[in-house]
Amino acid sequence: MPADSSVDTVRGRSAVPAVPPSRGGASRPTVLRGPVGVVAALVVLAPVLLAHPGQRAAALLLAVMAAGAVLVAAVRWPSGRVTLIGAVSGVAAASLLLDLAYPGPYRLPAFWLPFEWAALLLLAGRVVRRARGRWAGPAGALAVTAVVAVPLRFTVRTPNGGWTASVLAVLTSGVPLAVVVGASLYLRVLDARRERAVAKARREQRLEVARGLHDFVAHEITGIVLEAQAGQLPGDHGPEETAALLRRLEEAGLRALDSMDAMVGALREPHEDGDNGGGDGGADSPDAIGGPAGATGATRVYGLADLPELVGRFDRTGPTRARLEGAREATGLLSPEAEGAAYAVVLEALTNVRRHAPGAAEAVVRVETGAAEGGAGAVVRVSVSNDGRAPGGVRGLRRLRDGGGSGLPGLAERLAVHGGTLESGPLEPAPLRPLGWRTSCELPVR
Q: What are phi and psi of 320, to 5 degrees?
A: -80, 125
Higher pLDDT, 244 or 137: 137
Higher pLDDT, 94 or 446: 94
pLDDT digits (tens, 9 = 90+) for 27-43: 556 667 778 888 888 99
Position 156 pLDDT exceeds 70: yes
pLDDT digits (tens, 9 = 90+) for 114-131: 999 999 999 999 999 999
First-to-final CA distance of the chain: 50
Position 291 pLDDT exceeds 50: no
Residue 356 sits at the vertex; the CA angle it makes with 355 and 362, to the nearest 5 degrees, is 95
pTM: 0.54
Residue 149 and residue 99 in contact, taking contact as beta carbons nearer than 8 Å: yes
Higher pLDDT, 306 or 295: 306
pLDDT digits (tens, 9 = 90+) for 193-206: 999 999 998 888 77
| Interval 208-219 mean pLDDT | 68
Band (69; pLDDT cuts 50, 70, 90) = very high
| Interval 322-351 mean pLDDT | 88
Neighbours of 373 (CB within 10 A): 8
Classify 161 in phi/psi space as left (phi over 0), alpha (psi -120 to 50) or beta.
Answer: alpha
CA distance 266 to 204: 12
Higher pLDDT, 114 or 157: 114
